[in-house]
Amino acid sequence: MDSLKRTILVPTDFTPVAGYAADHAIKLARHLNSDVTFLHIIKKETDRAEADVKMERKASEFYKKYDVKPHTDIRVGSIFSTIGKAVSELPVDLVIMGTHGMRGLQKLTGSWALKVIVTSKVPFIVVQEPPKENKIEKIVFPVDFKRENKEKIGWAYYIARMFNSKVFIFQSNYSDKGFVQETSKNMVFTEKFFIAKGLDYEIVVAEGKKSFPDETIEYCKSIDADLMLIMTTKSMFFTDYIIGASEQYIIANTAHVPVMCINPRPSKVGSFSTTGG
């Protein structure tokens, strides 16, 4: 590969939905002043010749469409470890991955997709459709009782500042007193942060009649959201999500909203720290 500046990594299986991920990547890359890198993973070295042809065609199509030449990277390995390894070795800001609904990337189910996501030191954005337009106007930021809620706030700020977005803080509604107390603490922290940063935001409280994931997805659909931010848990067990839904239900949400998945660990985009510094 040629030398890279900061880059957005797009795992590709050469399907249309991988092309959607590339379309989302260029939208963000232009704001971040980043490169775009296509990554394809093959099972064995004898598959490389065919992959080279497909990758050259994909890169050429991307260049014709956007007048931007992407970097390309073909590696032998497993998607469950090789994407994370590429993130560690390259100056990657974000990974943008397409999902085939409940089948996931390269026939991944949602649970296996999360197994890929938790290997990454940088956030994943999972998409199902092409971007509607070249902006992100509405960001849904779910807040519940979990402590890790605070760790995704910097990313909400960064993207909102980059696109001049409005953040919709979607607050959980629990009957359990302990959950209510912890949710309230997270809300105070979140609102103070957004006020201090001068962000445009609105607080919406869930009805509490359905599961919080269900209500979050319904709300995203009702406002035609452009992005939802969630967090994985510190546990590597891929059946546990911070907002309590099975991972395939959130990643392959019926609203088809792009989902930014953030692992609870220090991350940076360029010189930006997710703690808000």
- Dihedral (C-alpha) 78, 83, 84, 90: value to the nearest 10 degrees? 130
Q: Which of 103-112, 150-159, 187-196 is modeled with the greatest confidence?
A: 187-196
Instruction: Give dist(CA 73, CA 35) in Å, integer.
Output: 13
Q: Name the pTM for this structure.
A: 0.85
Tens digit of each residue's pLDDT (9 = 90 or more) over 43-81: 999 999 999 999 999 999 999 999 999 999 999 999 888
Rounded CA separation 168/151 (Å)? 17
Exposure letters 78-104 (e unless 16+ CB within 10 A, then b): ebeebbbebbeebebbbbbbbbbeeeb
Instruction: Output the DSSP codes for 32-50.
Output: HT-EEEEEEEESSGGGHHH
Q: Is the pLDDT of residue 272 over 70?
A: no
Q: pLDDT at position 213, please? A: 86
pLDDT at 253 (0 to 100): 83
138-273 belongs to CATH 3.40.50.620:
yes
232 or 175: which leads in pLDDT: 175
CATH entry 3.40.50.620 includes domain 7-127:
yes
Alpha-carbon torsion (47, 53, 54, 59), positive or negative: positive
pLDDT digits (tens, 9 = 90+) for 6-17: 999 999 999 999
Average pLDDT over residues 145-149: 77
pLDDT at residue number 132: 85
Beta strands in 179-252 (DSSP E): 200-205, 227-231
pLDDT tops 70 at residue 101: no
Residue 242 has pLDDT above 50, yes or no: no
- Which band of pLDDT confidence, cut at 50, 70 and 90, is reported for residue 140? very high
Residues 6+ apart with CB under 8 A from 67: none
Hey, what are 69's tokens? Answer: 């030449």
Higher-pLDDT residue of 133 and 207 is 207
Q: Please give the pLDDT value at position 224.
A: 95
Q: Which residues lie closer than 8 Å to 34 by C-beta, 6 or more apart?
A: 5, 6, 7, 8, 28, 93
Domain with CATH 3.40.50.620 in the chain: 7-127, 138-273
The predicted pLDDT at position 2 comes to 54
The DSSP secondary-structure symbol of 81 reads H
